A and B are shown apart, each in its own frame.
Chain A
């Protein structure tokens, strides 16, 4: 969501090229910027190009229907600001192909986990509020803390989920996910009594504290960023369901997507690349996430915002001012931007590579509603070892087992030390160590979310809490 971090060094971009160069499109106006090598645009042609791209993206994919309620995810950054501006543009136009959906905006205040004081957060919120009021669209400002609030919002939410349950099982695990996430910060499974605080008034400090505790017990920034992303997505989803939106638009730009493609590969999320970065993401069933800004490079967005005075708000986030190698995401971002400077086709090549990928065997299993999904990211589990003859997942487990003191380990070692094997070659070597079952909550997670969970210091007590919670109160996966 937040785009402002990918550095676009404005001075580097050539503003006025050769004196008097003409726009390559209309051949009349004076060119004011070069988008790609050789493509010089004048101001008005650039605007047409930008606006057309947005509408073409929606027109090409045809997933938003007239009259539908669409929630625009706003982060304050350049991309989502430009996205909102494009929606305004599209709705206000008298042109025959006017956009015909009904927009609303959601802003998630993440100040608590980014180390901001209440005062700082209030300042940010008032800025956001004034910007959003200016749009004339209904808007929802939610705080990240609400993800753990079993209060008013969640109750509405549960009803909403109850309604949406007809769309298919799998979704009903949602409230449990949220509640479980809430439990993460407290070792005791006692849910605090509900609060009826409106999202905008001051929030119980207790919830903030729990959230902060959760993040401070996470060892790595990599995991924190993953966790924040998951929580934020759940909260947006939750808001969309609670308020009856059936689509969510999020404003990831081309540059941002290229970065997240590479960082997701590094995080072990290869199977989910099409879901995480594709145009539409239907993993939640009833609410579809779409990414209409995915073909704009950050440079285009930065220039559009500058030329047509679209304001954005700078809000520090988890990795603001963090060193280059503080997290996998941050490192990838630096890597991609540096490579892009030397090889200008990097970002678009990465993007086009991703376009050729497909969701992991989800197609053939789509019918199967009981397909196991990751508790955190809701992607189909990619941890079915044994299906592949040899896999990285299996190999890691074998390594773990062999490096630890286990009975089978010692036994098999003593055995092989003495005698040679029976059947030549096809030797049924002590069958790949019957991998210890991943404990508790881990087996409900996908490969990548397991890595994130491993970085949670308190995960053990959490698992216990979550497990008792899960199996005493309600079943987690499917069949409610």
Chain B
């Protein structure tokens, strides 16, 4: 109880402490719901006096919105949350009527809420969209197989068609096999690069016009910080864009760009959505972890910090004389790439040659050798092994 990370649910008879999932434990202490129970008063900010909803003024407030600090009742919160996403969709002109839109579904809270809200808004405002679910099976036993079950249930609940593409069928490797070869240290690089491409391929198979992903405001803010810390100016410039990759690849958009992670959790919780909440069993990206912790600390100090960082990111202007990587296509698979070979092909080549380090770090000079299927000489091999 001391960290205050649990949700106190408002049952009449008991203060019900929900066991929160891993992700929730990273949420900060101000994560408070109003409760009439005086026992919880010490932990919650306000408890004794019932607070009325600041939007309708009649209902009793059920929660304090992490984003604005207002106290809202459940139905006003739902309304506000949905309308905001609608506003984002309309003002950023994310969709055109009649489009086929693929929703990247992992079974987690973000994508579940995204699928739910898009389905709902599509009906409420007659977007005229055809929605589909696309899932990627990385082949992580004990994690993805369970979450895919959730996605399959979602498919039933929302009556949306579902397409699952697997690493096994696309690359001939599952993440379990990859981790066996590369170990726990750089496996997220493989998974991340492969997933990006797998999602696109799945979308192409379905013939969709657009892909939506469940990236939320926290993710974007975190990425801004990360790219700044890593000096990745090209990504820094495009990471705040709500739609990316319009030329060539299938455009992607992030309708939840301005939705706080905490609010997504609250929404999913109050709506009793069926989602899967376990961390990936392979260690998470350590460096991102630093940025994430920092962001959560910032949010605790000033809840608007997440939006403030996105605002900063949106207003950064990169000097014109800064060299940017030029986008081309991979000469092997035809996917977008700034090099002769795309990252996925290099990583795959490394796996198949038994040199997983080939794709970690920069070895652009070896690309032509890979392309002409030449064997690597001893010096190259040594470099890749000591790395």
Instruction: Take A356-B319, A426-B97 as given contacts and tell me if A402 and B84 are in contact as well, using a CB distance cutoff of 8 Å.
Output: yes
A421 neighbours in B (Cβ, 8 Å):
124-126
- Assess whether A325 is interfacial by the CB under 8 Å rule: yes
Given contacts A328-B305, A403-B80, contact A273 B316 (CB under 8 A): yes
Query: A265 — which chain B residues lie within 8 A by C-beta?
Result: 224-225, 228, 309, 312-313
Docked complex Cα distance between A350 and B290 (Å): 15
- Also in contact, A402 and B80, with CB within 8 A (given A220-B302, A268-B308): yes
Contact stretch, chosen from A96-104, A117-125, A227-235, A389-397: A389-397
Contact residues in B for A410 (Cβ distance below 8 Å): 56
The contact string, 1 if C-beta is below 8 Å from chain A, for chain B 295-325, is 0011011101101111111111111101000
Chain A residues whose C-beta falls within 8 Å of the C-beta of B84 in the assembled complex: 395, 398-399, 402
A270, A358, A409, A429 pick with most chain B CB within 10 angstroms: A270
Closest A residue to B127 by beta carbon equals: A425
B57 CB–A CB distance under 8 Å: yes
Binary interface profile of A, 445-457, with partner B (CB < 8 Å = 1, else 0)? 0011001000000
Whether A389 contacts B92 in the complex (CB less than 8 A), given A265-B309, A402-B55, comes out as: yes
Checking A261, A358, A392 against B228 with a beta-carbon cut-off of 8 angstroms, the contacting residue is A261
Q: Is the CB of A392 within 8 A of B258?
A: yes
Task: Please tell me if the beta carbons of B290 and A339 are within 8 angstroms of each other in the complex.
Answer: yes
Is B83 among interface residues, defined by CB-CB distance under 8 A? yes
On whether the beta carbons of A269 and B80 are closer than 8 Å, the reply is: no
**In the complex with contacts A350-B231, A425-B126, A357-B316 CB distance below 8 A:** yes
Partner of A425, one of B76, B95, B287, B322: B95
Does B43 touch A at the CB level, under 8 Å?
no
Question: Which of B12-20, B63-71, B136-144, B367-375 interfaces with chain A?
Answer: B63-71
Residues of A contacting B314 with CB < 8 Å?
A: 270, 388, 391-392
Residues of A within 8 A of B287 (CB): 343
User: Does B311 lie within 8 Å of A391, measured CB to CB?
Assistant: yes
In the complex, B93 has a CB within 8 A of chain A: yes
Report how far A358 CA is from B321 CA in the complex, Å. Answer: 10
Q: Who on chain A is nearest to B76 by CB?
A: A403
A400 close to B (CB within 8 Å): yes
A135 close to chain B: CB less than 8 A: no
| B258 CB contact (under 8 Å) in A267, A350, A395 | A395
Residues of chain B from 314 to 356 with CB closer than 8 A to chain A in the complex: 314-320, 322
Contact B315 A382 (CB under 8 A): yes
CA of A410 to CA of B301, assembled, Å: 32
Please tell me if A346 contacts chain B, counting CB pairs below 8 Å: yes
Contact of A270 among B70, B72, B315 (CB under 8 A): B315
Q: Which residues of A contact B70 (CB under 8 A)?
A: 403-404
Q: Which of A397-433 contact B (CB under 8 A)?
A: 398-400, 402-405, 409-410, 413, 416, 420-421, 424-427, 429, 432
Chain A residues, CB < 8 A from B308 = 266-268, 392, 447-448, 451
**Interface residue B242 (Cβ < 8 Å from any Cβ of A):** yes
Across-interface contacts of B56 in A (CB, < 8 A): 405, 410
With A353-B228, A361-B317 as contacts: A390 and B92 at CB distance below 8 Å: yes
In the assembled complex, the Cα of A271 lies from the Cα of B287 at a distance in Å of 26
Contact: A395 with B224, CB < 8 Å? Answer: no
Interface presence of A42 (CB below 8 A): no
Residue A360, interface by CB 8 Å: yes
Selected contact of B298 from candidates A331, A358, A425, A448, CB within 8 Å = A331
Tell me the nearest residue of chain A to B122, going by C-beta.
A425
- Set of chain A residues within 8 Å of B96, measured between Cβ atoms: 425-426
The yes or no answer to B199 lying at the interface (CB within 8 A) is no
Is B86 on the interface with A (CB-CB < 8 A)?
yes
Q: Which chain B residue lies CB-closest to A388?
A: B314
Structural contact, B317 and A399, CB atoms closer than 8 A? no
Min C-beta distance of B81 to chain A, whole Å: 9
Indicate which residue in A262, A349, A356, A395 contacts B230 across the interface (CB closer than 8 Å): A349
The complex places the Cα of A410 from the Cα of B55 at a distance, in Å, of: 9
**Is residue A25 contacting chain B, with contact meaning CB distance below 8 A?**
no
Q: Is the CB of B309 within 8 A of A266?
A: yes
Q: Is B387 an interface residue (CB 8 A)?
A: no
Q: Is the CB of A268 within 8 A of B80?
A: no
Does B9 reach chain A (CB closer than 8 Å)?
no
**Would B242 and A331 count as touching, CB distance under 8 A?**
no
CB A362 to nearest CB in B, in angstroms, measures 9
Is the beta-carbon distance between B57 and A266 smaller than 8 angstroms?
A: no
- Residues of chain A within 8 A of B72, CB atoms compared: 403
Q: Is B88 an interface residue (CB 8 A)?
A: yes
A409: min CB distance to chain B, Å: 7
Mark interface residues in B104-140 (1 if CB within 8 Å of A CB, else 0): 0000000000000000000111111100000000000
Contact partners of B322 in chain A: CB under 8 A: 356
Give min CB distance, B155 to chain A, whole Å: 24
Quote the shortest CB–CB distance from B57 to chain A (angstroms): 5
What's the nearest-Cβ distance from chain A to residue B117, in Å? 14
User: Can you name 23 A-B residue pairings with CB atoms under 8 Å?
Assistant: A261-B228, A264-B312, A267-B312, A268-B307, A327-B301, A335-B294, A335-B297, A360-B317, A392-B307, A395-B88, A395-B307, A398-B83, A399-B68, A403-B55, A416-B125, A421-B125, A425-B126, A426-B96, A429-B86, A432-B87, A432-B90, A432-B91, A448-B308
Q: 13 extra interchain contacts, Cβ-Cβ under 8 A, other than A389-B92, A421-B124?
A: A270-B312, A325-B301, A331-B297, A360-B315, A388-B314, A392-B314, A396-B258, A398-B83, A399-B80, A405-B55, A424-B98, A427-B125, A429-B87
Which B residues are closer than 8 A to A by beta carbons? 54-57, 65, 67-68, 70, 72, 76, 79-80, 83-84, 86-88, 90-93, 95-98, 123-129, 224-225, 228-231, 233, 236, 242, 257-258, 287, 290, 294, 297-298, 300-302, 304-305, 307-320, 322
